[in-house]
Amino acid sequence: MSGQFVTFEGLDGSGKSTHLERAFEWFEAAGVPAVMTREPGGTPIGMAIRDVFLDPQWGEVDGRVETMLIFASRRQHLLEVIEPALAAGQHVLCDRFTDSTLVYQGVGRGVELDVIERVDQLATGGRRPDRTLLFDLPAEVAQGRGQSQKRASLPNGIDRLDSENLAFYARVRRAYLELAERERERFVLIDSSGDIDDTERQVRAALSDLLAGGA
């Protein structure tokens, strides 16, 4: 039986990456086969692209350039990690996928959606996750977390997307919520504006069927 492809989406600062790591620990503890990965990244080529993509030294980068970089990483990620894991019966827990490109490069950067869709077809054949957890919180709260002194003190610091202005965060949040409204059968909305324990309870409930061993 094939595994489920589960993505964790949301604004930078929404807590999705923290809760992805915790969720993976739950799967391991329950003995449920799972792989944890992220985008851009997930493979050696993908990590090299990630380093270029997020490095603040490049300043402002054209949205179409960002789109092509991301999909190059995504194509390799699918071939090398995601599809083999799913075929082997493992669940794949992934930090971001094509939804991020639609909202960040599409709505955030203004790249035409038909351009993104064409590149997506070439790179992934229109592949979509089986389930998407969307970590939602007010744009100003996410920006505050993404640009905090705590974030700046981390090894990778504040990257190009963390440092965007509030209007950008707001556009991306609105686009995420519109996606979730259009695809209610796939998205699970997680309110991550509260404390970490409350968010964790919501995530565990959203994944309870998989943690119980279902696929």
**Count of beta carbons in the 10 Å neighbourhood of residue 209:** 12
Token duo for residue 10 = 């949301």
pLDDT tens readout for residues 115-134: 999 999 999 999 999 999 99
* pLDDT band with cut points at 50, 70 and 90 for residue 215: very low
pLDDT tens readout for residues 83-120: 999 999 999 999 999 999 999 999 999 999 999 999 99
Please state, for a pLDDT cut of 90, what percent of the chain lies above it.
Answer: 78
pTM, two decimal places: 0.90
Confidence check: pLDDT of 157 > 60? no
